[in-house]
């Protein structure tokens, strides 16, 4: 079957990148990034706390600036694309979504664990009632079979999702695993499929290309790869790769490069590299946003971070269980 050659980019620098910056984006920073992305032709520009609307908390880390203030600032700069938010049911609420809409958001990605799509029904319906683009976002897709993921995607389609996005939240998958999952979902639903990669095993661009090759038409990325763990697919890199491969992306490749170098790179707390902790996230299959929490727990209990990550992986911890990291570290310290 001939695959479509048009790719729509979703930039998550101001959402997934929030993890790497410890949720310290300012109004000036998001204004500059949003303006640049809009000028480069990126159609979906995501901004919220790293853990989505309502994520600013003791569990996930407090935002330096209220996310609705940031949404208003970014929204003023977006004239062509859609200001997009992430919402995890149980963390964010429909009231949060309504407030985000009032601040200019016109698309929402409703994120659930890969086997829990049913909890997205109300939020997707609420978004559609508001006239928003609504996306079903399945996290930690390495933890379920392609067949099970397809069933969960069908649920999100039935709720009214405009497309379904598969996330390799741990950066665990290899290209064949991505292809199997994307193909299974494509064959099961009539709406488009997207893919969100993490780079903990250095596979983000390869996995994103693999997803495109088997029919994913929405691809996530971040400027300079800024994101949780070792970061995400570097959007300026995958833009170049996909253009080399003959895909239409409708983005300004040079503009993305310049935006990454001149605006985002100076904000970064550290280079987005695959250090030991990030590598273990991918190897053990642990949610990427756990990393900074693991480092803090390791320091508190004088433990090797890799040991904590292996234990988290063996216990199959999922997104939303950040509060358990300290408990696991304490138990390791006690030899349990």
The two three-digit tokens of residue 324, written as one number: 């358990």
Instruction: Answer yes or no: is pLDDT of 217 > 50.
Output: yes
Distance CA 14, CA 123 (A): 22
- For the domain made up of 276-333, give the CATH fold: Helicase, Ruva Protein; domain 3 (1.10.8)
Tell me the CA distances in angstroms from 162 to 89, 118, 287, one per residue in order: 18, 16, 25
pLDDT for 93-129, tens place per residue?
Answer: 999 999 999 999 999 999 999 999 999 999 999 999 9
pTM summary value: 0.91
Instruction: Answer yes or no: is pLDDT of 320 > 70.
Output: no
Q: Can you give the pLDDT at residue 250? A: 96
Asked if 181 contacts 198 with a C-beta cutoff of 8 angstroms, the reply is: no
Best-predicted range by mean pLDDT (75-89, 265-279, 320-334): 75-89
Q: Could you check whether 8-267 and 276-333 share the same CATH topology?
A: no
Cβ within 8 Å of residue 216, ≥6 positions away: 166, 182, 186, 192, 193, 194, 195
Give catalytic status of residue 196 as yes or no. no
For the segment 22-48, the average pLDDT, to the nearest whole number, is 98
Q: Can you give the pLDDT at residue 196? A: 98
Asked if 297 contacts 307 with a C-beta cutoff of 8 angstroms, the reply is: no
Query: In the CATH scheme, what is the homologous superfamily, with its name and number, of domain 8-267?
Result: Aldolase class I (3.20.20.70)
Q: Can you give the pLDDT at residue 327? A: 84
CA–chain centroid gap for 149, Å, is 17
Whole-number percent of the chain with pLDDT over 70: 98
Lowest mean pLDDT among 30-34, 103-107, 286-290, 294-298: 286-290
Distance CA 17, CA 85 (A): 13
Domain boundaries, the chain: 8-267, 276-333
Handedness of CA 140, 281, 14, 49 (dihedral sign): positive
For the segment 54-64, the average pLDDT, to the nearest whole number, is 85
pLDDT for 259-285, tens place per residue?
Answer: 999 999 999 998 999 998 889 889 988
Instruction: Answer yes or no: is pLDDT of 257 > 50.
Output: yes
Q: Can you give the pLDDT at residue 179? A: 98
For the segment 154-170, the average pLDDT, to the nearest whole number, is 97
Q: Can you give the pLDDT at residue 312? A: 85
Out of 19, 49, 142, 293, which one is annotated catalytic?
19
For the segment 51-80, the average pLDDT, to the nearest whole number, is 93
Instruction: Answer yes or no: is pLDDT of 319 > 70.
Output: no
Q: What end-to-end distance do the CA atoms of the chain give, in Å? A: 53
φ, ψ at 64 (rounded to 5°): -70, -40
Distance CA 312, CA 316 (A): 6
| pLDDT level of residue 1 (50, 70, 90 thresholds) | very low
Candidates 179, 144, 199; CA nearest to 318 is 144
């Amino acid at each position: 079957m001939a695959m479509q050659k048009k790719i729509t980019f979703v930039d998550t620098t101001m959402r997934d990148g929030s993890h790497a910056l410890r949720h310290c984006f300012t109004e000036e920073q998001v204004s500059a990034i949003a303006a640049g992305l809009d000028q480069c032709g990126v159609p979906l520009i995501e901004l919220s706390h790293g853990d989505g609307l309502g994520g600013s908390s003791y569990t996930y880390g407090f935002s330096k600036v209220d996310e609705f203030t940031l949404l208003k600032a970014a929204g003023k700069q977006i004239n062509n694309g859609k200001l997009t938010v992430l919402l995890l049911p149980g963390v964010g609420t429909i009231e949060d979504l309504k407030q985000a809409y009032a601040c200019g958001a016109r698309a929402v990605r409703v994120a659930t664990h890969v086997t829990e799509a049913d909890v997205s029904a109300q939020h997707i319906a609420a978004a559609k009632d508001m006239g928003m683009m609504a996306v079903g976002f399945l996290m930690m897709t390495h933890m379920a079979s392609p067949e099970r993921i397809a069933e969960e995607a069908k649920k999100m389609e039935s709720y009214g999702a405009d497309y379904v996005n598969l996330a390799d939240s741990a950066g665990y998958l290899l290209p064949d695993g991505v292809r199997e999952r994307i193909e299974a979902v494509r064959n099961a639903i009539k709406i488009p499929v997207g893919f969100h990669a993490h780079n903990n095993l250095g596979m983000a661009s390869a996995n994103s290309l693999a997803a495109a090759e088997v029919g994913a038409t929405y691809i996530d990325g971040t400027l300079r790869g800024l994101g949780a763990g070792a970061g995400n697919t570097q959007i300026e890199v995958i833009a170049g790769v996909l253009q080399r491969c003959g895909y239409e992306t409708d983005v300004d490749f040079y503009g993305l490069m310049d935006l990454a170098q001149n605006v985002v790179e100076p904000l970064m707390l550290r280079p987005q590299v695959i250090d030991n902790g990030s590598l273990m996230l991918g190897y053990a299959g642990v949610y990427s946003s756990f990393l900074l929490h693991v480092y803090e727990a390791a320091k508190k209990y004088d433990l090797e971070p890799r040991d904590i990550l292996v234990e988290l992986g063996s216990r199959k911890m999922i997104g939303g269980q950040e509060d358990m990291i300290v408990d696991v570290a304490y138990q390791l310290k006690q030899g349990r």
